[in-house]
Structure 1
Amino acid sequence: MEKFDYIICGAGASGLLLSNAFISDKFFNDKKILIIERENKNVNDKTFGFWNDKESVLDEMVFKEWEFAEYKDSSYYNIFLLNPYKYKMIKSNQFYSHIGNKILKASNFKYLNSNINEIDEKNNIVKTDSGEFSSSIIFSSIYNEVTFKKYPLLKQHFIGWTIETKSESFDDNKITFMDFSVDQKDEIRFMYVLPFSKNKALVEYTLFSKDIINDNEYEKEIKSYLKKNNITGYSVTDKENGMIPMTCYPFFENNTDTYFQIGTAGGWSKPSTGYTIKNSIKKIDIIVDSLKQNKPLSKIRFKNRFWYYDLLFLDVLIASKGKGSQVFSDLFKNNDPIKIFKFLDEKTSVIEELSLFLTVDIKTFIKSLLKRISNFSI
């Protein structure tokens, strides 16, 4: 049985970013690393969106960036400059190719295309169609079913169309961050638009809800939205879809010193927004630092005051019975949007956070807090 220092199960965003972190740090040059992925990652199956105010490893792969954004609901509309941030987008096929090429060139890495049949956490063995492999530490992005119990769960699910129009239909320096002017249908529904040029854009219909809807309904709403905005005569050049669990479930409590869950399987998606890729870099930095200092991985706890904010926020969205968009609208109507992005980035001070909370229906948040305290579930 071939033995490795680290085995990474899954070559999605988190697995590749962790691989890239190992490749970029000389400390890991003498570590023997195996990455296992069942699929050939060479298609554009998703889009990664994020904002930042300084360059990171992600900037090596950015396809497009924007300086302006807009927020809408049925009665409010705001266009704003994102400075000091820029909103950026990466196409997944470019992401897979860029880091995949680094892995192929790294002499201490082995990339294996194979099905993973079992991860034996007790004996640190990964069983695949191509054989069995042992490792000192296994990093896995394979989702394990859990019982959420006292932790709220919403699903962020979406279908997006990349469309090309015959005439100029978009401002290619401005994204639509959230457009809640669509029919909410007693849920939380919005449009998200990323223009690549004046006549090409990704138009995505997104829901925060407990249940997934039929594909036809997503596409019907996209068609309706385009018609309402006088966008006709277009062709659909690409489609994407996805589902991200929005939860504060403490996946990290299942980690040990030799088995560590990463990515969505590790709860790395920001619970209140679903944004994952930049969140992953922050968590990978903590993992790398722990490995270099020989600290136990089981002691890593991805839990800070923002985790508690997200927990209450999810409670409020679930209890809102289709009026959750009002929370977002209160924030954007009553605050500098840059402060909101800073807050979502978990870089605000407590004073800034308090000023944000006072601009929403604070009673609902206090009610949620008191309920959790009374149930000993916070």
Structure 2
Amino acid sequence: MRFVTAFCAPGFMMTMGVSITLFTGSRKRIGWSDARILQHFAIRGFLLALINFWMTMSFVAPSGKPLLLTTVLFALGIDMILGAIVLLAETRLTSYLYQRIENSSLPQHDKDRHQYRLRLASVLFYLIAAVILAVVITAVTPVYDGATPPKESDFSFWYLLWVLPYTDMMGDGARIGSVYPPLAWLSVVLWGIFVGKVMTEFKLGFNDNIKFHTVLSVVLLAIFFPLRALGGFGNINPGLAHQPGELPWVAFFNLIKYPPDVAYLTWNLGANHLFLVLFLLATSTEAAANAPGPWSLRGLVSRVVPLDAWETIKSPNNPVMSYGVSSFFFYIGHFQVFFFAAWWMKIFGIEPFAPGLEYWVAWVAGMWLMFLGCRWYGQFKASQPADSIFRFF
């Protein structure tokens, strides 16, 4: 289960970075100013952080004092704002330099060459920044030697909040349960902006996107396997790769997520790019309509899922589509639904977390309630203005 769910957080962060790029470009085309775009991301990001604190406000330290707990919502919110600031600053600088070149007395072919290099540099900036930040986070993270566990007092509050995950919430003097510090995950958001910039700056079509994400997946996985096998730099705790009593392949993929080290990121981002390729092939009518042969990958896709099935898949009555359209609403709501289900089961003497018939009945009933709620909310938010806060859910 841990192996499967480890793909999620890097996927969240990377696709958020891509979305920041696509949203900024689309709003600039309809005349939004940089200030309005930043205001949008600031409201959305702070809303995520606020809901993080609302959902965790019941956590208290043994001393009885409130405990600050940072979940994935906190990192997503803060990194959304930081990513937007970096992107807007970079695009403004790039536009200024682009115009300087355009207004220069250089011959047109020299202008074109310098402007292309400028565009390329604006894309590579995010790639380089993402790599450097990931390496720095890995390098500054202390390695637990198995003898002397670190204490919260060994680190400053702000270092734990921004950089280093620490979750000994029951320790004496506990002040913070830092699960997702924003700077530890900012490299993945910058990587997503890099991906989005390549897709938009070079106007990648369907085939180009397939090739681009395939190349990224292959490169990242080619880095991961020798990096993990050697067990040196890039692995915050290389000893996990050789745990006694564990199956060798289980130990090999037992990677460090808190904070994400280079080995973790190369494996999970490589897998996420592969998932994107599969999703593109599985959900694109172009993949089916342009299938060149029955035994090609596209041909197989079109044989498995006919063209007329896509409308059914995209219907709001499809639970998966309803969950996806209202994903943040689902995230908040599913805690309430299943906490209530667990409380109700305990009243009747049923252990809510023991796998059995009652467990699966409660799960199916809860998912059905969430489907009805998400379908309603998806229809409600679709009726709201484009900048309505309800669309954030």
Normalized against structure 2, the TM-score is what? Answer: 0.23
Q: Which entry has the higher C-alpha Rg, 1 or 2?
A: 2
Q: Which has the higher strand share?
A: 1
Q: Which has the higher helix share?
A: 2
